[in-house]
Structure 1
Amino acid sequence: MGCFPSKLSFSQSKSKKTLLELKRPDIYPPGKGPSFQAAYARAVRRYGFETGRYSGFAKRNNLVVKVKSKDDKTTKHEVPAESIQNGMEYVVPVTIGTPGVTLNLDFDTGSSDLWVWSSELAGAAKRESESHGVYDPSKSSTAKETSGRWDIAYGDGSSASGNVYTDHVTVAGITIKDQAVELAQHLSSSFLADGGNDGLLGLAWPDINTVQPEPVATPVKNMISQKLIKPQVFTVKLGHGDETSFYSFGFIDKSVTKHPINYTAVDNSQGFWQVPSTSWTINGEKKKREDNVTILDTGTTLCLVDDDVIESIYGSIEGARYDDEQGGWAYPSDAKLPTVTFAVGEHQYTLNAKDFGFGDAGDGFTFGGIQSRGDNPFDIFGDVFLKSVYVVFDQGETRVGLAQRED
């Protein structure tokens, strides 16, 4: 397939901005959504940070556990591992093999593995009929087994591992030949209980791919090397509620927002989409953050920043409090909220007021979507932040472009 945006359309009956429309794996009743505790615990599990002044979940004894505060670390309860992933991701249809099987994968800019539920899992046929699509390489004429192995382990003890094949993989109408596909042979309980996706497609840099003895190229890396996309970018728009969300490859949709796209150089030395974020504002007052950096991560739900910023934000909201029992900052549901912006590079981006709150905290309170990063050395701008912007991940030029959105 050539390098032409018109060939990337996921559905020709829709406008070009729905190049690869995202789906939500579950439907919530009005006013309901994924649990705040599960969203926070998932971030801890992912990055393994310990509790700070206001991070209500910590890693202890290889479990993600809830703690009360810095001075009182009494364990109130364990977060059930199976709840950590449920309801936190957008899933995208990807076709693998010849003939192809379509799986719903979690697209993740914070990791670099393409792994899937496979026929090599115990009870795979039953799981396929119940809740998961399954890739069976024996049914694909283009599948080839390799000598590679992969193994992902998290701080809470959850893990996934297996062997590696190469096969044709089609994303947004682009067919990548001989793409490494990591087959799950073993999944811990947290993954086995997750009915939301059939695997994960990593969009971070190839350096953090877990295949041994040698890391393998990511799908975007192969799109570039096989000259399938030009420009060498992928983009993401995450919508609110029923609003359309999408990824595009090799195409920048300038109709998403009237605001300009501002580019910032990426430090990819750690394998992440890491950029400087050295200031922020609250109600128009600018505050500096010395040498601060952040990661743009579609695989994390919340926006996680340092405790000084957290204190300033919630200190400006009348009645806001750190909820020891539930492990996060909450505020009265009818409170007047501040206008908050965070810098990426030289430009500030406003957090949409729709995303400031994240779930019911009870007794007339709402959890904030901005929470503590604990002792993590960098911020994590997850979906709570990313839904306010249109993002161009420019792998060819090692930079990201952000444009403010108003919807």
Structure 2
Amino acid sequence: MHHISHLALAASLISSALTSPVDVTGKKTVSIADIKGKKTFSVEQVLAKKQQMQAPALSMLKTYAKFSGTAPVQLKAAAAAIQAGTVQATPQNYDMSYLCPVSVGGQTLNLNFDSGSADLWVYSTLQPTSQQSGHSIYDPSKSSTSQLLVGNTWSIKYGDGSSASGNVYADKVIIGAVTATSQAVEAATSVSDSFLKDVNNDGLVGLSFSNINTVSPNQQKTFFDTVKSTLALPLWTANLKKGAPGTYDFGYIDSSKYSGKITYVDVNSASGFWQFTADGYQIGSSSTVSSSFVAIADTGTTLMYLPSSSVTAYWAQVTGSGYDKNQGGYTFPCSSTLPDFNLVVGGNKFTVPGSYMNYAQISYTTCFGGLQQNTGLSFSILGDIFLKSQFVVFSEVGGKASLGIAAMYNGTPGEDDGDEWECHAAAVQQKELETWKMINQEGGEMKVMHRREDAGVRHTDLQAAALTAASPMIAAEWLFDRYKVAVDMHKALQSPRYEYLFFAWSQSPQSIMSEFISFLPPPGLALANYDSAALHSTQSPDVPEVFRDAMSVREDVFVKEQKVALENEVDVDDARSFHWVAYASVGTSGSDGNAAMDGVTKDSATSAEHTGRKGSTAMKLPVGTIRLVPPPHPPHPQPGSSHKIDNHEGLPQDMQSGLSKTEMHDGKEAYIKLGRLSVLQPFRGLGLARLLIDAALTWASQNVDKILPPMSPAAAEQRKLELGGGVEVEDVWRGLVLVHAQAQLEKYWALFGFVKDESMGTWEEEKIMHVGMWKRVEFDSESTGGRKKSVVG
């Protein structure tokens, strides 16, 4: 079964427009019209194929050279001693190295995303063969889209004598789901030994500002500058981690990756770097020191380089530490417990845990510090030691560069946050609670998520109100009118604007077809002419709209993000399945209640829906879906097998064979199967997956006869032919549910009460490993109508 990927791409952009970058520019509101049709994507790091680390002194010397700094004499001497073989060169117990896969001219290279440089350069076949060993290389001759930029060259020369240079091509570069069709690719013809010794990567993707790009005579744009106009928002984020792969997200901010608020500071882009001013620091629980200094955020640098006063103050707190001239930096006893380091930015403190300050073990008892002096550099550098403990936003929203920092979210990966956020309802300010009223009529439960942007502070409140089963729109109108909060936008707007985002789900069977979640019974012959090789937007209008909406989500999550072949996404089970689609309603209203959202009308957006309220416009967009496949089902997949789709019917006979029973299934009991659970990236972490699962299982428990109607003689005969005869099956569903879960999401499904069936082993669907997991839904047995087993054959 396909599933949500927490590091996957996003196609719906609405919540991106409601995240903190919207209000950091002080110039304009980003509306739906601004981002309609634009993109977001996420890139997950991969473990470097070779884990080899330079000695700290050599790494530091490289940083000084990169930024044309004057390295201290002791550092130069330490590096020389290491290169001469008199000092140990390979540290132990260091953090792992992670890179990002990038397609360059159809060839995949693992590159380092570097916010401290502006060149996209790669190892290539233009280099001597001796320099190509150990790297994936770019071959321009194998790319059908490469074009030599005649007369243009690039050259990086550092103060330590290291260098790299070569020719420049325009070629197709794909990162995530975004393509730069004519990106400047700097193909190396020669690199110095210091670069060759870095076997961890195949080149760099520079993410600083284009004004320091080294191509001559025609300076080129960075990848980000090339694609930012196509993104939902012109920003990217770094969510790097210690000892684990991190992610870079482009075009949106994933609110599940940080906690608290994002603090933004202005960036001096004229320097070419993400340069800003820090306010001071705090060591452990000691007093805060107010001492401003200029720093850059650099994903291409490992250590933290700060003013000498802060560095000496830090290491003074660690017994046995000190400056080691043989190593060119501060060292300490590995047995030491290091204090936290708090950096003050924008008036807020951001903590680097003491454990992160241990860069590497350089001897049996001695470790090298992750915090070093910036002596000889023109600014301080916040490298990975800092960045791996924070969530960082690199923003150019409104044409103004800014850097955002927030505490990294430390929750359990894959954990559903709906219940946690629901508990926060009690903490909503009293003035907001006064706007809530209970609609005391019969009906189901409406769950509403509201995000408020207020002077750069993100608030998330979850409330519940009774929903009138007969008239769900009454509740929707009431919420639209009553639950709106001004976006201050740093007081820059002439008049306040209101932005709202809410989701609702009705548990009541009578109102399951509501404004916010739609239910579709098995579409049957309505899908007879569905073209599986074509996108949902091109399908016949005879295809139910709810199914087309479900496919819009599935195409974004499974086809675009998880690379499932489009023609395999619709299968034979879709026609006989029950489907649910969750929608988000998003819009704005002027302070007088009469200003509709910029550029959004029913004519300009096919998914736009007017709420009927004067002066208001709301867009209804599909953001999540799930399907329920009723019995019967083919045999369970064989452990170790591989399938294009998760339904075996219609496949060659040798692929239909599988387990007739498992440790958790006797091979006879009827069961339902949940599948195609998917939520668009910007809407994850809001509890929508839980709502969709609950919606499907609640409906199933209340509609047993619709899941498995009694078999007619003709149906029994047909089932006999399907199963080969002589097979006893139940014609009543007793609550057993199966999911084919992606193996890495086993713990996620366990949150919903599903248990792994060890006897099913693992198998491959669409090149993704899966496991079988079961759950039994409890319900009133009388609802089965007293039906009994049917014997087929």
TM-score grouping bracket, smaller chain normalisation: 0.7 to 0.9
TM-score (norm 2): 0.44
Superposed displacement of residue 27, structure 1: 6.1
User: Which residue is equivalent to 1:294?
Assistant: 295
User: Which residue is equivalent to 1:57?
Assistant: 75
User: Which residue is equivalent to 1:62?
Assistant: none
User: Which residue is equivalent to 1:143?
Assistant: 146
User: Which residue is equivalent to 2:402?
Assistant: 399
User: Which residue is equivalent to 1:192?
Assistant: 196
What secondary structure is seen at the aligned counterpart in 2 of 1:326?
A: coil
User: Which residue is equivalent to 1:91?
Assistant: 99
Q: How far, CA to CA, are the matches of 2:369 and 2:170 in structure 1?
A: 43
Q: Does structure 2 conserve the Cα–Cα contact (< 8 Å) formed by 1:33 and 1:87?
A: no
- 1:357 is aligned to 2:369: no
1:88–1:43 CA distance, 2 compared to 1 (3 A):
farther
Q: Does structure 1 conserve the Cα–Cα contact (< 8 Å) formed by 2:338 and 2:355?
A: no
Q: Does structure 2 conserve the Cα–Cα contact (< 8 Å) formed by 1:149 and 1:163?
A: yes
The code of the aligned residue for 2:75 comes to F
User: Which residue is equivalent to 2:47?
Assistant: 24
The code of the aligned residue for 1:221 comes to D
Q: Does structure 2 conserve the Cα–Cα contact (< 8 Å) formed by 1:266 and 1:275?
A: yes
- 1:279 is aligned to 2:280: yes
Q: How far, CA to CA, are the matches of 1:251 and 1:323 in structure 2?
A: 44
- 1:168 is aligned to 2:188: no
Q: Between Structure 1 and Structure 2, which shows a larger proportion of helix residues?
A: 2
The code of the aligned residue for 1:331 comes to F
Superposed displacement of residue 234, structure 1: 0.9
Q: How far, CA to CA, are the matches of 1:5 and 1:22 in structure 2?
A: 14
Q: Once structures 1 and 2 are overlaid, which stretch shifts more, 313-322 or 173-182?
A: 313-322
Q: How far, CA to CA, are the matches of 2:393 and 2:301 in structure 1?
A: 18
User: Which residue is equivalent to 1:117?
Assistant: 123
Q: Once structures 1 and 2 are overlaid, which stretch shifts more, 111-120 or 131-140?
A: 131-140
- Given the alignment, which residue of 38, 50, 66 partners 2:78? 66
CA deviation profile, 1:258-291 (whole Å, cap 9, x unmatched): 221111111111100001012111123111224x
Larger radius of gyration: 2
What secondary structure is seen at the aligned counterpart in 2 of 1:212?
A: coil
CA deviation profile, 1:21-44 (whole Å, cap 9, x unmatched): 11231566xxx9653233322222
User: Which residue is equivalent to 1:154?
Assistant: 158
Q: Once structures 1 and 2 are overlaid, which stretch shifts more, 256-265 or 34-43?
A: 34-43
Aligned CA-pair RMSD? 2.7
What secondary structure is seen at the aligned counterpart in 2 of 1:175?
A: strand
Q: How far, CA to CA, are the matches of 1:123 and 1:334 in structure 2?
A: 45
User: Which residue is equivalent to 1:106?
Assistant: 112
Q: Does structure 1 conserve the Cα–Cα contact (< 8 Å) formed by 2:45 and 2:245?
A: yes
What secondary structure is seen at the aligned counterpart in 2 of 1:309?
A: helix
CA deviation profile, 1:282-329 (whole Å, cap 9, x unmatched): 123111224x11000011100011111111111122222222222221
User: Which residue is equivalent to 2:137?
Assistant: 134
The code of the aligned residue for 2:328 comes to G
State how many pairs are aligned: 366
Q: Describe how 1:311-350 pairs up with structure 2 within 5 A.
A: 311-350=312-351
Q: Does structure 1 conserve the Cα–Cα contact (< 8 Å) formed by 2:74 and 2:325?
A: yes
The code of the aligned residue for 2:323 comes to Y
Q: Percent identity among equivalent residues?
A: 33
CA deviation profile, 1:89-132 (whole Å, cap 9, x unmatched): 531111122xx1111111100000001111211227x93xx422
1:5–1:325 CA distance, 2 compared to 1 (3 A):
closer
Unpaired segments of 5 or more residues in structure 1? Answer: 9-16, 59-64, 68-74
Q: How far, CA to CA, are the matches of 1:18 and 1:352 in structure 2?
A: 30
Unpaired segments of 5 or more residues in structure 2? Answer: 1-7, 13-39, 411-793
CA deviation profile, 1:223-246 (whole Å, cap 9, x unmatched): 12xx321111111111111x3311
User: Which residue is equivalent to 2:310?
Assistant: 309
Q: Does structure 2 conserve the Cα–Cα contact (< 8 Å) formed by 1:18 and 1:246?
A: no
What secondary structure is seen at the aligned counterpart in 2 of 1:40?
A: helix
TM-score (norm 1): 0.83
The code of the aligned residue for 1:94 comes to V
- 1:373 is aligned to 2:377: no
Q: How far, CA to CA, are the matches of 1:56 and 1:255 in structure 2?
A: 44
1:92–1:33 CA distance, 2 compared to 1 (3 A):
same
Higher relative contact order (CA 8 A, sep 6+): 1
Q: Describe how 1:257-268 pairs up with structure 2 within 5 A.
A: 257-268=258-269
1:334–1:324 CA distance, 2 compared to 1 (3 A):
same
